């Protein structure tokens, strides 16, 4: 059944006058009469009674009118939903996030976006950087907040704000009370390192800092998350270099001490597939992320 037949019938049933109904529909009366006949022939029932004085609904027509209105309402709702999703006003956004990103700009970006696009469901999944890159490669999520400096050619990226590496010491360590320290004073310590297979950028950044300081760190333990690194340090298993943003975690038993001479390191980024850049929901999210990152914290 063609939808225009339903529309013609609903307007005619509301007006109960062929002239006024035709005027509302911006057509002439003959096509309206033909449409009504085609609909009645298809249904096998009479929907309207018509004489020289008036047009009235039959009982079957009254019952059909209620259902026809529901059908047209659902069609309109489906149209509106499709247009809203296409315009980036409704839908679902799948995002990845490394655990430490909760202490950086990610919550602010997500909160700002959700306030502006309340009809878009944002789903965050904690994943390692390597897992996110694999998920992006297979199109299993829209974008990810991960620790990386370089990306495959198929991905676009937006760097997060600069973060700085600081020294993480057990609170009972002799240097834990220092306002800042020289990295060379830690040359003989045992270090807890970030596992390279999880996020090579994190590991490589730390090693680069040691190399510039002329230190060959004694690595005793490796962890897969920054918070685990801090927990191991607080347990007295060694010292570590960690992002300063982890201070927000407020973990007991460890002190974060600035290291003199270290420049800010940008190892966090929002990444997405270039071929998905045209998706309205993703484009809206990236635009909000750019705005939040450009604004003062």
Look at residue 87 in the predicted model and tell me its pLDDT.
60
Identify whether residues 148 and 127 lie together within a single domain: yes
Task: Return the bridge partners of 57, or none.
Answer: 48
Confidence of residue 198 (pLDDT cuts 50, 70, 90): confident
CA atoms within 13 A on the CB side of 202: 28
CA nearest 45: which of 68, 26, 23? 68
pLDDT exceeds 80 at position 19? yes
Is residue 36 packed enough to be buried (19+ CB in 10 Å), middle (13-18) or exposed (0-12)?
buried
**pLDDT (average), residues 141-157:** 91
Identify whether residues 134 and 279 lie together within a single domain: yes
Identify whether residues 260 and 223 lie together within a single domain: yes
Identify whether residues 124 and 70 lie together within a single domain: no
Selected residue with higher pLDDT from 44 and 77: 44
Q: How far apart are CA 121 and CA 16, in angstroms?
A: 45
Identify whether residues 143 and 281 lie together within a single domain: yes
- Residues in CB range of 261: below 8 A, 6 or more apart: 182, 183
Q: Output the domain CATH number for residue 240.
A: 3.40.190.10
Do 118 and 88 meet the contact criterion of CB atoms below 8 Å apart?
A: no
Q: How far apart are CA 207 and CA 213, in angstroms?
A: 10
Structural domains counted in the chain: 3
pLDDT exceeds 60 at position 104? yes
Look at residue 257 in the predicted model and tell me its pLDDT.
94
Look at residue 84 in the predicted model and tell me its pLDDT.
62
Identify whether residues 144 and 279 lie together within a single domain: yes
Look at residue 264 in the predicted model and tell me its pLDDT.
65
Confidence of residue 199 (pLDDT cuts 50, 70, 90): confident
Alpha helices per DSSP H over 16-118? 18-25, 29-43, 59-86, 106-116
219's enclosing H/E stretch is: strand 218-223
Identify whether residues 13 and 80 lie together within a single domain: yes
Least confident of 62-76, 116-130, 192-206: 192-206
Look at residue 90 in the predicted model and tell me its pLDDT.
56
Identify whether residues 284 and 246 lie together within a single domain: no
CA atoms within 13 A on the CB side of 17: 6
Please identify, among 42, 60, 87, the residue that sits at the C-terminal boundary of a domain: 87
Please identify, among 87, 122, 141, the residue that sits at the C-terminal boundary of a domain: 87
Confidence of residue 191 (pLDDT cuts 50, 70, 90): very high
Selected residue with higher pLDDT from 38 and 148: 38
- pLDDT tens for 162-187 read 888 899 999 999 999 999 999 899 88
**Residue-averaged pLDDT of the chain:** 88
Selected residue with higher pLDDT from 209 and 136: 136
CA angle 162, 164, 166 (to 5 degrees): 165
Identify whether residues 144 and 287 lie together within a single domain: yes
Selected residue with higher pLDDT from 224 and 52: 224
**pLDDT (average), residues 188-194:** 90
Identify whether residues 77 and 134 lie together within a single domain: no
**pLDDT (average), residues 16-32:** 90
**pLDDT (average), residues 54-60:** 90
CA nearest 161: which of 248, 269, 242? 269
- Residues in CB range of 280: below 8 A, 6 or more apart: 85, 86, 87, 88, 89
Q: Output the domain CATH number for residue 50.
A: 1.10.10.10
Do 215 and 184 meet the contact criterion of CB atoms below 8 Å apart?
A: yes
Per the structure, the complete domain to which residue 186 belongs is given by: 163-266
Identify whether residues 98 and 29 lie together within a single domain: no
Please identify, among 36, 63, 87, the residue that sits at the C-terminal boundary of a domain: 87
Identify whether residues 194 and 49 lie together within a single domain: no
Look at residue 158 in the predicted model and tell me its pLDDT.
95
């Amino acid at each position: 059944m063609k939808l225009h037949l339903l529309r013609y019938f609903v307007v005619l049933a509301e007006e109960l006058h062929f002239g006024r109904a035709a005027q509302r529909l911006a057509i002439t009366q003959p096509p309206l009469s033909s449409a009504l006949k085609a609909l009645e022939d298809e249904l096998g029932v009479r929907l309207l009674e018509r004489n020289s004085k008036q047009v009235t609904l039959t009982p079957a027509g009254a019952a059909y009118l209620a259902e026809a209105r529901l059908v047209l309402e659902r069609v309109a709702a489906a149209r509106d939903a499709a247009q809203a999703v296409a315009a980036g006003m409704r839908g679902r956004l799948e995002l990845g996030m490394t655990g430490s990103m909760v202490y950086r700009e990610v919550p602010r970006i997500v909160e700002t976006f959700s306030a502006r696009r309340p009809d878009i469901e944002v789903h965050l999944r904690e994943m390692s950087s390597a897992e996110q890159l694999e998920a992006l490669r297979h199109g299993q999520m829209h974008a990810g907040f991960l620790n990386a400096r370089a990306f495959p050619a198929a991905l676009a990226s937006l760097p997060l704000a600069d973060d700085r590496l600081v020294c993480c010491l057990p609170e009972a360590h002799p240097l834990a009370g220092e306002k800042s320290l020289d990295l060379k004073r830690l040359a003989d310590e045992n270090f807890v390192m970030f596992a390279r297979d999880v996020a090579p950028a994190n590991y490589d950044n730390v090693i680069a800092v040691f190399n510039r300081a002329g230190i060959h760190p004694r690595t005793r333990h490796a962890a897969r998350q920054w918070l685990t690194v801090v927990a191991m340090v607080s347990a007295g298993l060694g010292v570590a270099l960690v992002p300063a943003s982890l201070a927000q975690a407020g973990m007991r038993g460890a002190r974060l001490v600035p290291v003199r001479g270290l420049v800010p390191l940008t190892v966090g980024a929002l990444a997405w597939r270039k071929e998905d850049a045209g998706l309205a929901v993703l484009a809206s999210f990236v635009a909000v992320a750019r705005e939040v990152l450009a604004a003062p914290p």
